[in-house]
Copies of this chain bind each other. A is one copy, B any other.
């Protein structure tokens, strides 16, 4: 069984690491040589996924194809499907998620809470949206946004010109109401082609500069929200006829109102803790789904888990320091992504801490992050 993965980043790498035990072969399509995933598989196509010749080369010999990001145009995925290959999640799913306006419409149509939104074809649209819903307005690129890139917080009419001019270069835009949330929460949900579903615990995510900084997972943390989040997850998975792991980012407001913010049609940074923290990781479960196998147990193996990202702090050749100091702690796990160049705020790796007490685990995670340098 040969699994093709579109993309060679850390998510692809962890998909591969988690599932060699099932003895699949992997074929990676990566933009550059020595990508994180490309370094640990034997078959790599280096090229551009917008190039159909390259897609053909990649798809050849694959029994099934999956992806690690939502940036490849759904039409390119359709192209692979037309070559006779199953792609999970499918082009149809990516079409509904890739464009954030279409995504919001899709979620909204399920009766799930989302922020007020509308398309923003021009500056007038933004002004009208603000008149109806008030400031601040979040102006967003409809495609290709991540880690805050492609978002602009419009606090008053005075910001509209700059916001529009800076973002409209990136393509079509949309407006959203700014949600004054208490917490950002997330969940990973997995579904296989047979429709079997498993859902991970709800976690809290802490962002710094719009990038995921820390994730807190604990069976007890959002126990009362579990049912609501699961109901939302199932609705979305089934509406999309989704196959694989889906990341769902949400806002929590007034302690029990859940507002879905964004979907990630792939394994997600908020679920990295599942590698050690759950009986089956989001990565393994994604591959199980792609292989039409039953999803594994998503329960936690211990009361609490905390994941902290290791972001680059300088530009240059990556070199990890402080490993021994980190690993002398029990139940602290390091994952390096094998990126050869470090850059400010680039995701270079992550640390997961398991423990009985969530707040101890958070403290240990913060200390451990301080102990390493890359």
What is the interface of chain A, defined by CB distance below 8 A to chain B? 13, 17, 20-23, 25, 39-42, 276, 279, 288, 291-294, 296-297, 301-302, 320, 323-324, 327-328, 330-331, 333-338, 354
Q: Which residue of B lies closest to A328 (CB)?
A: B294
- When A13-B20, A21-B335 are in contact, do A327 and B39 touch as well, CB less than 8 Å? no
Q: Which of A17, A21, A25, A40 has the most B CB atoms < 10 Å from its CB?
A: A21
Taken together as a complex, chains A and B put the C-alpha atoms of A40 and B333 apart, in Å, by 22
Q: Which residue of B lies closest to A292 (CB)?
A: B324
Q: Which residue of B lies closest to A22 (CB)?
A: B336
A2 smallest CB distance to B (angstroms): 12
Query: Which residues in B have their C-beta under 8 angstroms from that of A41?
Result: 40, 42
Task: Establish whether residues A296 and B327, one from each chain, have CB atoms under 8 Å apart when the complex forms.
Answer: yes
Query: Which residues in B have their C-beta under 8 angstroms from that of A21?
Result: 17, 333-336
Task: Establish whether residues B336 and A296, one from each chain, have CB atoms under 8 Å apart when the complex forms.
Answer: no
Task: Establish whether residues B22 and A40, one from each chain, have CB atoms under 8 Å apart when the complex forms.
Answer: no
Question: Could you show 20 A-B contacts with beta carbons less than 8 Å apart?
Answer: A20-B40, A21-B333, A21-B335, A22-B323, A23-B336, A23-B337, A40-B41, A41-B42, A276-B279, A279-B331, A279-B354, A292-B324, A293-B323, A294-B324, A296-B327, A296-B330, A296-B331, A297-B331, A301-B301, A301-B302
Taken together as a complex, chains A and B put the C-alpha atoms of A42 and B288 apart, in Å, by 24
Known: A42-B42, A279-B354. 4 other contacts (CB 8 A): A20-B40, A23-B337, A294-B327, A294-B328
Query: Which residues in B have their C-beta under 8 angstroms from that of A296?
Result: 327, 330-331
Taken together as a complex, chains A and B put the C-alpha atoms of A330 and B20 apart, in Å, by 19
Task: Establish whether residues B334 and A22, one from each chain, have CB atoms under 8 Å apart when the complex forms.
Answer: yes
Query: Which residues in B have their C-beta under 8 angstroms from that of A320?
Result: 23
Taken together as a complex, chains A and B put the C-alpha atoms of A132 and B197 apart, in Å, by 66
A44 smallest CB distance to B (angstroms): 9
Taken together as a complex, chains A and B put the C-alpha atoms of A279 and B356 apart, in Å, by 13
Q: Which residue of B lies closest to A293 (CB)?
A: B327
Taken together as a complex, chains A and B put the C-alpha atoms of A50 and B291 apart, in Å, by 41
Sort A-B residue pairs by CB-CB distance and give the 3 closest, nearest first.
Answer: A23-B336, A297-B330, A23-B338
Query: Which residues in B have their C-beta under 8 angstroms from that of A302?
Result: 301
Taken together as a complex, chains A and B put the C-alpha atoms of A333 and B21 apart, in Å, by 9
Taken together as a complex, chains A and B put the C-alpha atoms of A323 and B23 apart, in Å, by 12
Taken together as a complex, chains A and B put the C-alpha atoms of A276 and B21 apart, in Å, by 12
Taken together as a complex, chains A and B put the C-alpha atoms of A160 and B279 apart, in Å, by 52
Taken together as a complex, chains A and B put the C-alpha atoms of A40 and B21 apart, in Å, by 10
Q: Which residue of B lies closest to A339 (CB)?
A: B23
A148 smallest CB distance to B (angstroms): 27
Query: Which residues in B have their C-beta under 8 angstroms from that of A333?
Result: 21
A91 smallest CB distance to B (angstroms): 26
A23 smallest CB distance to B (angstroms): 4
Taken together as a complex, chains A and B put the C-alpha atoms of A301 and B275 apart, in Å, by 13
Taken together as a complex, chains A and B put the C-alpha atoms of A256 and B244 apart, in Å, by 51
Q: Which of A20, A292, A296, A323 has the most B CB atoms < 10 Å from its CB?
A: A20
Taken together as a complex, chains A and B put the C-alpha atoms of A333 and B20 apart, in Å, by 12
Taken together as a complex, chains A and B put the C-alpha atoms of A41 and B42 apart, in Å, by 7
